[in-house]
Chain A
Amino acid sequence: MAAHTTSVDHQEHSHPQASVYAKVGLVLFVLTALEVGLYEITYGEHAGSSASAIQPFFVPLLLLLSAFKFALVAMYYMHLKQDSKLFSGIFVFPLIIAAVIIIGLMVLMAYHMAFARSG
């Protein structure tokens, strides 16, 4: 039986205009400045009296900013927003596995250390 085939169509998903890329670039730059600014006011030389109030939110905020930047690059620069959903699947599925690996190993190590401390 002959395999079902489809001709390759490069024009199916048009990519954004240069102005969209520039706006995304500006947002990425601002978010990076925010990350470093957040570090400076929490732990850097410019850390003031509010530093201790920010500290509990520092890591979640940084991870949120980082995730937003990651998503912007993937959606707009890597064209996942316009391209075939198959590409998104090929990228997102390993990303989920990657997140599970990171969280799993951290939990395992934390448990191991707690177990070792308790004797």
Chain B
Amino acid sequence: MEHATSTGLDSRKLAIWTFIGSECMFFATLISNYLVNKGRSLVGPYPHEPWTSPSGEHFKPILEIPLVTLGTALLLFSSLFVVLALSGAQRGSRKALVGWLGATIFCGIFFVGMQVYEFTHFVREGLTLKTNLFGASFFTLTGFHGTHVTIGVIWLITLWILALRGKIPPAKSLNLEMAALYWHFVDVVWIVIFPVVYLIK
């Protein structure tokens, strides 16, 4: 039986929402940092424009929109999948829970893999944290977001293992709902980052 609370709401759910609220402000500072430094890099590589170094080396615009669009679409779909997994957990459908949660984890791993590829590609192209203001603010913002996605994937994998063992009955679906809320938050942050970093010149 659930214990009583002063609000009538589950304390764990209230805690995760409070955490998400604090994360909003955390990402606001990172997005602000990116925006105030946007277009102020004195040397390339640049996100949207080509650049020729003083030594005559030519650099293409560094952002790869098609790959990131695919990652963005999969992250959006993962939000749909996790909410379907939650619906399955609440109905007591283990098959739906395990299947949709597995699909969510796959999308999350793809997104992290996409970011690892993107970061290594950028470093090979000569863009690091220390190269210019774009590099510093880009790696800080997307790196922190990627870390959040990685934490989310680990959290979801632990729940997936529990679901496989039949340890997430409908009465314990709140355990998944908390992870799902965190996952959706990671998704909404990317909904902001994607146009701000990749599409707006």
- A residues contacting B by CB (< 8 A) are 3-10, 15, 18, 21-22, 24-25, 28-29, 32, 35-36, 38-39, 43-44, 58-59, 62-63, 65-66, 69-70, 73-74, 76-78, 84, 86-87, 90-91, 93-95, 97-99, 101-102, 105-106, 109
**Contact indicator B195/A63 (Cβ below 8 Å):** yes
Q: Is B55 an interface residue (CB 8 A)?
A: no
Question: Hey, which chain B residues are within 8 Å of A84, CB to CB?
Answer: 7-9
Q: CA–CA, A86 to B185, complex, Å?
A: 17
Interface mask (B1-41 → A, CB under 8 Å = 1, otherwise 0): 01111111110011001101110110111011001100000
Question: Hey, which chain B residues are within 8 Å of A77, CB to CB?
Answer: 79-80, 82-83, 180, 184, 187
Given contacts A91-B21, A94-B24, contact A66 B7 (CB under 8 A): no
Q: CA–CA, A93 to B191, complex, Å?
A: 19
Give how many B residues have a beta carbon under 8 Å from the other chain's beta carbons: 54
Nearest-Cβ distance from residue A108 to partner chain B, whole angstroms: 8
For residue A3, which residue of chain B has the nearest CB?
Answer: B6
Q: Considering residues A6, A36, A95, A101, which has the most beta carbons from chain B within 10 angstroms of its beta carbon?
A: A36
Q: CA–CA, A35 to B198, complex, Å?
A: 11
Q: Is B199 an interface residue (CB 8 A)?
A: yes
Q: Is B65 an interface residue (CB 8 A)?
A: yes
What does DSSP make chain B's interface, helix, strand, loop or mixed? helix
Given contacts A90-B14, A90-B21, A101-B28, contact A24 B80 (CB under 8 A): yes
What does DSSP make chain A's interface, helix, strand, loop or mixed? helix
Question: Hey, which chain A residues are within 8 Å of B48, CB to CB?
Answer: 43
Q: Looking at the complex, which one of B14, B65, B188 makes contact with A86 (CB distance below 8 Å)?
A: B14
Nearest-Cβ distance from residue A86 to partner chain B, whole angstroms: 6
Closest 7 pairs (CB-CB, A-B): A98-B28, A6-B8, A25-B80, A94-B21, A5-B4, A8-B2, A109-B36
For residue B192, which residue of chain A has the nearest CB?
Answer: A66
